[in-house]
Amino acid sequence: MNRNSLFLLLTSLLLAGCVPQSQYNQEAQQVQQLDYMNGTYKQLDQSLQTEVNSDQVEIKQLQNKLQVTMVNAILFPEGGWELHDQGRSELNKLIPALQGVAGKQIVVAGYTDSLPIERPLSERFPSNWNLSAARAISVVRYLETEGIDPNSMAAVAFGPYRPIASNDTPEGRAKNRRITIDIQDEVP
């Protein structure tokens, strides 16, 4: 084989193993995003270890999303929608991780159990949906006062419509009364 043939063979072999620049950039961005999510997960897990161990907080790393689930009892007084001191303290543990969020959206979702709201709370919140919305908004407002960019946040309410446990027992209802904070890709 002459020198030119060898050069052509090596060049074609090298080019066969190459990927287009756009594909390389996309894969590099995916690796960077995964590194960010892994680092944020570790940071959240470390700062909320006590709550995780006592089943008050759960942290999940899903495909392109981190989800922190907090039972209402550590955020709000019984039947309340405004954060109590412990709730603000618990959210303060999340703030360092949330401040580092770039190119992500923070979605705070409120959930309730299926029991009807009783008086006098029902005068302010005619349904569990309204109550779950107020709780999610309360969390978003607090995060905003602590420096989290409001352009990166959203509050949503699911009321009793996405239970994770049976509403037939007090323990199940307590699990269903929760706030989730999702760190996810921005929706265009």
Both tokens of 102, joined, read 């770039």
**Domain annotation for the chain: domains and CATH numbers:** 29-185 (3.30.1330.60)
Q: What is the DSSP letter of 81?
A: -
Q: For the chain, what is the radius of gyration of the CA atoms?
A: 23
Cβ neighbours, 10 Å, residue 65: 15
Q: Are 178 and 72 in contact (CB under 8 A)?
A: yes
Short-list 160, 171, 47, 158, CA closest to 99: 47
Q: Are 183 and 104 in contact (CB under 8 A)?
A: yes
pTM of the model: 0.81
Q: Alpha-carbon distance 33 to 35, whole Å?
A: 5
Q: pLDDT (tens digit, 0 to 9) for every residue of the chain, 188 residues total?
A: 544 554 555 455 455 566 565 655 555 556 666 777 777 778 777 877 887 787 889 999 887 899 999 999 999 998 899 999 999 999 999 999 898 777 889 999 999 999 999 999 999 999 999 999 999 999 999 999 999 999 999 999 999 999 999 999 999 999 999 999 999 988 76
| Phi, psi of 94, deg, nearest 5 | -85, -25
